[in-house]
Amino acid sequence: MKLYRRLIVPFGLLLVFGLAGCNSNETVTNVGKLEFQQALKIPELLEPTIESDGTKHFSLTMEPGTTEFFPGEITDTWGINGSYLGPTIRVSRGDKVSFDVVNKLGETSTLHWHGMMLPPAMDGGPHQMIEAGETWSPHWTIDQPSATTWYHPHLHGKTAQHVYRGLAGMFIIDDEDFKKLPSNYGVDDIPLIVQDKLFTSDGQLSEDDDTPYGMLGDEILVNGTYDPFLKVTASQVRFRLLNGSNARAYNFGFTDGRSFQLVANDAGLLNEPVTLERFMLSPGERAEIVVAFEPEEETILRSYSSGAGITNGEFDLLKIVADSELTGSSPISKQLSSIEPIEVPADAKVRQFKLTMENEINDKLMDMYRIDEVVPAGTKEIWEIHNFGSEHNSIFMMQHSEY
Ligand SMILES: [Cu+2]
C-alpha cells in the first residue's frame, strides 16, 4: 500500500502563480444584476441497473453538446449523459458499484471520483486515461461514511479545462446515519454545484486564462442554471454545496444574515452541527448545511468578498423562496457522527513539503511516473506544508491503496 501526492490548484492543473500582472483590487460582482428568473435545475438521480450479484451498474457518457444558459442563446458545452454537468449518483455504504464511462468527447479524458476511497486502478486520475471513443469500466465497493463527493475528469494538464466545459457531477454516499438529516433528494436535500464562468460577447464559454490563478469568471451558474431561484417546500432544507469552479473560492452566507447549521464537510458528517453565518469553500471542496425556513420567507445565498485574487468578488448565487405551507421536519440530531480525534504517536514521522513559485514540491516538478513518498498504510504521520509562493496554495494528497 502506498500513498503518493499531487499538487492541485485547482484540480492539479494550475500550479503556483505569482501575483505579477494582477490588478484585481476592484471587487468583481453580479449583485444587482440578476432577476432570479430561472428555476434551479436539479441534476437527475441516475438509476443503476442491478446485476445478478447485486452490483449497481451505472452508465456515463462524456459528450459535447449545447446548452441554453441565457434565454435564446446557445452555448457550446460538454456534459455527462447530457449537455452540461452530469447526473447525481447516490449509493449506500456496502454497495458494490460498477460503471461504463464512454468517452465521446473526441479527445482523451479521465473520470475521477473525488473524495472516494477506492483502489488506485479505479480512481480515474491521470493514470487511467480514456482515449476518444473508448469505454472505461471501473468497479469497487463503497466503504466510507455518509459524504458528498463528486466526479470530474482528471487528465494531467487538462483537468481544469474539462471541468470548466461542463464535466462534473455529484456522488452522494449514504451510511446508516444519513436519515439524521433531511434526505429527500430534490425536495429537502438539494445539490448546489457553484461555478463561475466567463462568457464571450456571443455567449460562448471563454477559456481566456487571464488571471494568475487560472480561470476566474464574472458570471455564476448553479447546477448549470444562470439567474436561478429555488422554491422550497420544507421547513428544514439540507444543501450540499460543491465548489465546482476552477479557481474561485466562495464565502457563503445569506443576505438576511440568517444562521444555519454546518453538518458535513469533505470527509462526511461532523460529530455535531455547528451554527454559522458564513463559511468558505475552495475549488473542489464540499460542505452540507441545513437551513430553516418560515413560510413565504425569501433570501439570497450570496458569496461575500473576503480578500483579493480568488477570494475577491461578491456574487448572488441563488434566490430561495419558501412556500406558503412548509412540511415540518424533526429537529436535527445533536450527534451526527462519532469520529474519534486523531492521536498522534510521540514518534510519528514528520514529512516536510515545500511548495515554491516554480510549481515544485520539494524542488521537484510533478512527474506522473515517479512516486516521491511511500507511506505505510494505517500509520499516523505529521506532514508540514510550507508555502513559499506568493499566492494561496494547497496540497492535495491522495491515498491509494494497492490491491
Ligand atoms: Cu477532484
Domains of the chain: 41-179 (2.60.40.420), 189-327 (2.60.40.420)
Identify the pLDDT of residue 251: 97
Distance from Cα 115 to the centre of ligand 1, integer Å? 7
Distance 149 CA to ligand 1 centre (A): 9
Distance from chain centroid for Cα 7: 17
State the distance from the centre of ligand 1 to the C-alpha of 284, rounded, in angstroms. 6
User: Pairing mode, if any, of strands 147-152 and 169-174?
Assistant: antiparallel
- CA of 291 from ligand 1 middle (Å) equals 27
| CA 118 to ligand 1 center in whole angstroms | 14
| d(CA 12, ligand 1 centre) in Å | 8
Report CA(154)–ligand 1 centroid distance (Å). 7
Span from the CA of 8 to the centroid of ligand 1 (angstroms): 9
pLDDT of residue 131: 98
pLDDT of residue 392: 60
Cα(69) to centroid(ligand 1), Å: 24
Q: Provide the 3-class DSSP secondary structure of residue 249.
A: coil
Distance 83 CA to ligand 1 centre (A): 20
CA of 246 to the centre of ligand 1 (A): 11
Cα distances from 121 to residues 125, 135, 138, 217, 398, in angstroms, run 9, 15, 8, 34, 13
CA-CA distance, 259 to 262, in Å (whole number)?
Answer: 10
**Euclidean distance between CA atoms 123 and 5, whole angstroms:** 13
Contact 222, 188 (CB under 8 A): no
Tens place of pLDDT per residue across the chain (403 aa)? 233 323 333 333 333 333 333 444 578 999 999 999 999 999 999 999 999 999 999 999 999 999 999 999 999 999 999 999 999 999 999 999 999 999 999 999 999 999 999 999 999 999 999 999 999 999 999 999 999 999 999 999 899 999 999 999 999 999 988 778 999 999 999 999 999 999 999 999 998 876 777 889 999 999 999 999 999 999 999 999 999 999 999 999 999 999 999 999 999 999 999 999 999 999 999 999 999 999 999 999 999 998 888 888 999 999 999 999 999 888 888 999 998 988 999 999 999 999 887 788 999 998 988 999 999 888 999 999 998 876 665 555 443 333 2
pLDDT at 362: 93
- Sign of the alpha-carbon torsion through 226, 108, 120, 88: positive
